[in-house]
Protein backbone atom coordinates (compact mmCIF):
# COMPACT_ATOMS: atom_id res chain seq x y z
CA UNK A 1 0.00 0.00 0.00
CA UNK A 2 1.65 3.14 -1.22
CA UNK A 3 0.28 6.07 0.82
CA UNK A 4 0.26 9.83 0.68
CA UNK A 5 -1.69 12.82 1.99
CA UNK A 6 -4.01 14.36 -0.53
CA UNK A 7 -7.57 15.52 -0.02
CA UNK A 8 -10.00 14.42 -2.73
CA UNK A 9 -13.54 14.25 -1.54
CA UNK A 10 -15.15 14.71 -4.92
CA UNK A 11 -17.02 11.43 -5.20
CA UNK A 12 -18.36 11.67 -1.64
CA UNK A 13 -19.38 15.31 -1.91
CA UNK A 14 -21.08 14.59 -5.20
CA UNK A 15 -23.14 11.88 -3.56
CA UNK A 16 -24.13 14.02 -0.59
CA UNK A 17 -24.99 16.96 -2.83
CA UNK A 18 -27.42 14.83 -4.79
CA UNK A 19 -29.60 14.72 -1.66
CA UNK A 20 -29.43 18.31 -0.45
CA UNK A 21 -27.35 21.40 -1.16
CA UNK A 22 -24.41 21.72 1.20
CA UNK A 23 -23.78 25.06 2.86
CA UNK A 24 -20.35 26.58 2.39
CA UNK A 25 -19.55 25.68 5.98
CA UNK A 26 -20.52 22.06 5.51
CA UNK A 27 -18.65 21.76 2.26
CA UNK A 28 -15.55 23.24 3.78
CA UNK A 29 -15.80 20.97 6.80
CA UNK A 30 -15.90 18.00 4.45
CA UNK A 31 -13.07 19.19 2.27
CA UNK A 32 -10.79 19.75 5.23
CA UNK A 33 -11.52 16.38 6.81
CA UNK A 34 -8.08 14.83 7.10
CA UNK A 35 -7.81 11.81 4.85
CA UNK A 36 -4.94 9.51 4.15
CA UNK A 37 -4.98 8.33 0.58
CA UNK A 38 -3.62 4.95 -0.47
CA UNK A 39 -3.37 3.13 -3.76
CA UNK A 40 -4.35 -0.51 -3.38
CA UNK A 41 -3.70 -3.22 -5.97
CA UNK A 42 -6.50 -5.45 -7.16
CA UNK A 43 -7.53 -8.46 -5.11
CA UNK A 44 -6.20 -7.05 -1.86
CA UNK A 45 -8.03 -6.77 1.43
CA UNK A 46 -8.45 -3.22 2.67
CA UNK A 47 -9.84 -4.30 6.04
CA UNK A 48 -10.64 -7.72 7.46
CA UNK A 49 -13.40 -9.32 9.49
CA UNK A 50 -12.45 -9.20 13.16
CA UNK A 51 -10.51 -5.94 12.83
CA UNK A 52 -11.28 -3.12 15.26
CA UNK A 53 -10.56 -0.19 12.99
CA UNK A 54 -10.07 3.39 14.16
CA UNK A 55 -10.85 4.81 10.73
CA UNK A 56 -13.18 4.21 7.82
CA UNK A 57 -12.33 3.93 4.16
CA UNK A 58 -13.74 5.98 1.32
CA UNK A 59 -13.44 4.46 -2.13
CA UNK A 60 -12.09 7.22 -4.38
CA UNK A 61 -11.79 5.16 -7.54
CA UNK A 62 -11.93 1.53 -8.61
CA UNK A 63 -14.16 -1.39 -7.68
CA UNK A 64 -14.19 -3.05 -4.27
CA UNK A 65 -16.52 -5.43 -2.48
CA UNK A 66 -17.79 -6.24 0.98
CA UNK A 67 -17.69 -9.95 1.72
CA UNK A 68 -17.85 -12.68 4.32
CA UNK A 69 -16.13 -16.03 4.48
CA UNK A 70 -18.19 -18.83 6.01
CA UNK A 71 -16.79 -21.45 8.35
CA UNK A 72 -16.96 -23.82 5.40
CA UNK A 73 -14.60 -21.55 3.48
CA UNK A 74 -17.14 -20.21 1.01
CA UNK A 75 -17.21 -16.53 0.14
CA UNK A 76 -20.30 -14.36 -0.11
CA UNK A 77 -19.98 -10.90 -1.58
CA UNK A 78 -22.76 -8.90 0.04
CA UNK A 79 -22.20 -5.64 -1.84
CA UNK A 80 -20.03 -3.96 -4.40
CA UNK A 81 -18.36 -0.73 -3.29
CA UNK A 82 -17.99 1.98 -5.92
CA UNK A 83 -16.40 5.42 -5.96
CA UNK A 84 -17.94 7.62 -3.27
CA UNK A 85 -18.89 4.68 -1.04
CA UNK A 86 -17.68 4.25 2.53
CA UNK A 87 -18.29 0.51 2.91
CA UNK A 88 -17.17 0.35 6.54
CA UNK A 89 -18.79 3.50 7.86
CA UNK A 90 -20.55 1.22 10.34
CA UNK A 91 -17.28 0.72 12.18
CA UNK A 92 -17.84 4.21 13.55
CA UNK A 93 -20.35 2.70 15.99
CA UNK A 94 -19.66 -1.05 15.85
CA UNK A 95 -16.26 -1.87 17.28
CA UNK A 96 -15.67 -5.23 15.58
CA UNK A 97 -15.87 -5.62 11.81
CA UNK A 98 -18.21 -8.42 10.78
CA UNK A 99 -17.12 -8.22 7.15
CA UNK A 100 -14.00 -7.87 5.07
CA UNK A 101 -13.53 -5.34 2.31
CA UNK A 102 -11.37 -6.21 -0.64
CA UNK A 103 -10.52 -4.62 -3.94
CA UNK A 104 -11.72 -6.05 -7.23
CA UNK A 105 -9.76 -3.68 -9.44
CA UNK A 106 -6.92 -1.40 -8.35
CA UNK A 107 -8.40 1.30 -6.09
CA UNK A 108 -7.59 4.65 -4.63
CA UNK A 109 -8.79 4.56 -1.05
CA UNK A 110 -9.07 7.39 1.47
CA UNK A 111 -8.88 6.64 5.19
CA UNK A 112 -10.69 8.98 7.58
CA UNK A 113 -10.32 8.58 11.32
CA UNK A 114 -13.38 7.90 13.43
CA UNK A 115 -12.29 10.77 15.60
CA UNK A 116 -12.55 13.18 12.68
CA UNK A 117 -15.90 11.70 11.64
CA UNK A 118 -17.33 11.99 15.14
CA UNK A 119 -16.21 15.56 15.37
CA UNK A 120 -17.78 16.59 12.08
CA UNK A 121 -21.02 14.82 13.06
CA UNK A 122 -21.23 16.76 16.31
CA UNK A 123 -20.53 20.07 14.63
CA UNK A 124 -22.75 19.56 11.59
CA UNK A 125 -26.00 17.73 12.35
CA UNK A 126 -27.03 17.69 8.70
CA UNK A 127 -23.81 15.95 7.76
CA UNK A 128 -24.35 13.50 10.61
CA UNK A 129 -27.78 12.74 9.17
CA UNK A 130 -26.27 12.42 5.69
CA UNK A 131 -23.71 9.88 6.89
CA UNK A 132 -26.37 7.99 8.79
CA UNK A 133 -28.45 8.03 5.64
CA UNK A 134 -25.60 6.52 3.64
CA UNK A 135 -25.46 3.56 6.01
CA UNK A 136 -29.24 3.19 5.75
CA UNK A 137 -28.96 2.95 1.98
CA UNK A 138 -26.30 0.29 2.40
CA UNK A 139 -28.79 -1.61 4.53
CA UNK A 140 -31.47 -1.19 1.86
CA UNK A 141 -29.08 -2.68 -0.69
CA UNK A 142 -28.44 -5.65 1.59
CA UNK A 143 -32.18 -6.22 1.93
CA UNK A 144 -32.61 -6.26 -1.81
CA UNK A 145 -29.61 -8.57 -2.08
CA UNK A 146 -31.18 -11.05 0.33
CA UNK A 147 -34.31 -11.01 -1.79
CA UNK A 148 -32.36 -11.41 -4.99
CA UNK A 149 -30.42 -14.40 -3.74
CA UNK A 150 -33.33 -15.92 -1.86
CA UNK A 151 -36.14 -15.66 -4.37
CA UNK A 152 -34.79 -15.41 -7.88
CA UNK A 153 -33.17 -17.91 -10.19
CA UNK A 154 -29.63 -17.42 -11.39
CA UNK A 155 -30.58 -15.75 -14.66
CA UNK A 156 -32.81 -13.17 -12.97
CA UNK A 157 -30.28 -12.68 -10.20
CA UNK A 158 -27.59 -11.79 -12.66
CA UNK A 159 -29.89 -9.43 -14.53
CA UNK A 160 -30.77 -7.72 -11.26
CA UNK A 161 -27.19 -7.22 -10.15
CA UNK A 162 -26.20 -5.83 -13.53
CA UNK A 163 -29.08 -3.35 -13.32
CA UNK A 164 -28.02 -2.27 -9.85
CA UNK A 165 -24.43 -1.79 -10.92
CA UNK A 166 -25.33 0.27 -13.94
CA UNK A 167 -27.67 2.56 -12.02
CA UNK A 168 -25.21 3.07 -9.19
CA UNK A 169 -22.36 3.74 -11.60
CA UNK A 170 -24.50 6.23 -13.46
CA UNK A 171 -25.27 7.99 -10.19
CA UNK A 172 -21.57 8.74 -9.72
CA UNK A 173 -20.91 9.54 -13.36
CA UNK A 174 -19.15 6.28 -14.20
CA UNK A 175 -21.63 5.10 -16.80
CA UNK A 176 -22.96 6.87 -19.82
CA UNK A 177 -26.23 5.74 -21.23
CA UNK A 178 -26.12 1.96 -20.94
CA UNK A 179 -22.44 1.37 -21.11
CA UNK A 180 -19.91 1.11 -18.31
CA UNK A 181 -16.60 -0.32 -17.33
CA UNK A 182 -17.08 -3.46 -15.28
CA UNK A 183 -13.91 -5.22 -14.13
CA UNK A 184 -15.78 -7.98 -12.28
CA UNK A 185 -14.85 -11.57 -13.11
CA UNK A 186 -17.34 -14.39 -13.46
CA UNK A 187 -15.90 -15.91 -10.31
CA UNK A 188 -16.66 -12.73 -8.39
CA UNK A 189 -20.19 -12.63 -9.76
CA UNK A 190 -20.52 -16.21 -8.61
CA UNK A 191 -19.61 -15.22 -5.04
CA UNK A 192 -22.02 -12.32 -5.21
CA UNK A 193 -24.96 -14.34 -6.52
CA UNK A 194 -24.48 -17.52 -4.55
CA UNK A 195 -23.93 -19.73 -7.59
CA UNK A 196 -20.88 -21.43 -9.09
CA UNK A 197 -18.60 -19.75 -11.62
CA UNK A 198 -19.53 -22.40 -14.15
CA UNK A 199 -23.17 -21.51 -13.80
CA UNK A 200 -22.45 -17.79 -14.07
CA UNK A 201 -20.73 -18.51 -17.35
CA UNK A 202 -23.75 -20.39 -18.68
CA UNK A 203 -26.15 -17.70 -17.56
CA UNK A 204 -24.09 -14.96 -19.16
CA UNK A 205 -23.96 -16.84 -22.43
CA UNK A 206 -27.70 -17.21 -22.36
CA UNK A 207 -28.11 -13.50 -21.66
CA UNK A 208 -25.84 -12.67 -24.58
CA UNK A 209 -27.79 -15.01 -26.80
CA UNK A 210 -31.01 -13.33 -25.66
CA UNK A 211 -29.60 -9.94 -26.63
CA UNK A 212 -29.76 -8.62 -23.07
CA UNK A 213 -26.12 -7.73 -22.66
CA UNK A 214 -22.82 -7.36 -24.42
CA UNK A 215 -20.08 -8.17 -21.96
CA UNK A 216 -16.53 -8.46 -23.18
CA UNK A 217 -13.52 -7.95 -21.00
CA UNK A 218 -14.12 -4.97 -18.74
CA UNK A 219 -16.82 -3.45 -20.87
CA UNK A 220 -20.56 -3.88 -20.35
CA UNK A 221 -23.17 -2.67 -22.79
CA UNK A 222 -26.87 -3.13 -22.24
CA UNK A 223 -28.65 -2.92 -25.59
CA UNK A 224 -32.12 -3.53 -24.18
CA UNK A 225 -32.34 -1.84 -20.79
CA UNK A 226 -36.09 -2.29 -20.39
CA UNK A 227 -35.89 -5.98 -21.04
CA UNK A 228 -32.99 -6.42 -18.63
CA UNK A 229 -34.89 -4.55 -15.94
CA UNK A 230 -37.92 -6.72 -16.55
CA UNK A 231 -35.94 -9.94 -16.44
CA UNK A 232 -34.23 -8.88 -13.22
CA UNK A 233 -37.45 -7.49 -11.73
CA UNK A 234 -35.40 -4.40 -11.09
CA UNK A 235 -37.01 -1.41 -9.39
CA UNK A 236 -34.43 1.17 -8.28
CA UNK A 237 -36.53 2.51 -5.40
CA UNK A 238 -34.39 0.67 -2.86
CA UNK A 239 -31.32 2.66 -3.93
CA UNK A 240 -33.04 5.80 -2.65
CA UNK A 241 -31.55 8.05 -5.30
CA UNK A 242 -33.11 11.46 -5.17
CA UNK A 243 -32.50 12.35 -8.77
CA UNK A 244 -34.54 10.52 -11.34
CA UNK A 245 -31.61 9.26 -13.34
CA UNK A 246 -32.50 5.98 -11.69
CA UNK A 247 -35.62 5.29 -13.64
CA UNK A 248 -34.08 5.97 -17.05
Q: Work out whether 75 is an interface residue with DNA (CB under 7 A).
A: no
Please check whether residue 114 is in contact with residue 63, taking contact to mean a CB–CB distance below 8 angstroms: no
**21 touches a second copy (CB under 8 A):** no
* Contact between residue 167 and residue 241 where contact means Cβ atoms under 8 Å apart: yes
- Residue 31 or 233 having the CB closest to a second copy: 233
Among 142, 186, 227, 233, binds DNA (CB under 7 A): 186
Binding mask 28-67 for DNA (x = CB under 7 A): ---------------x------------------------
126 is an interface residue for DNA by CB under 7 A = no
Among 30, 57, 65, 78, binds a second copy (CB under 8 A): 78
Q: Can residue 147 be called a binding residue for DNA (CB under 7 A)?
A: no
How many of the other CB atoms lie within 10 Å of CB of 74? Answer: 10
Report the partner that residue 247 touches, choosing among a second copy, DNA, none (CB closer than 5 to 8 A by kind): none
Binding site for a second copy (CB under 8 A): 50, 66, 68, 70-72, 74-76, 78, 90, 93-96, 98-99, 122, 125, 128-129, 132-133, 135-140, 142-147, 149-152, 193-194, 233, 235, 237-238, 240
Amino acid sequence: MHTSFRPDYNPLIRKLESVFALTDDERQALETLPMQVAVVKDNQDIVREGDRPTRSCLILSGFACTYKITAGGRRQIVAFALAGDIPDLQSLHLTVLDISIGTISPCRVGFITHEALREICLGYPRLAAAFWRETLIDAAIFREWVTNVGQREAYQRMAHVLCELLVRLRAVGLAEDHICELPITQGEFADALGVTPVHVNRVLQQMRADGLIELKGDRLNIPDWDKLKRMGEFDPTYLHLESDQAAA
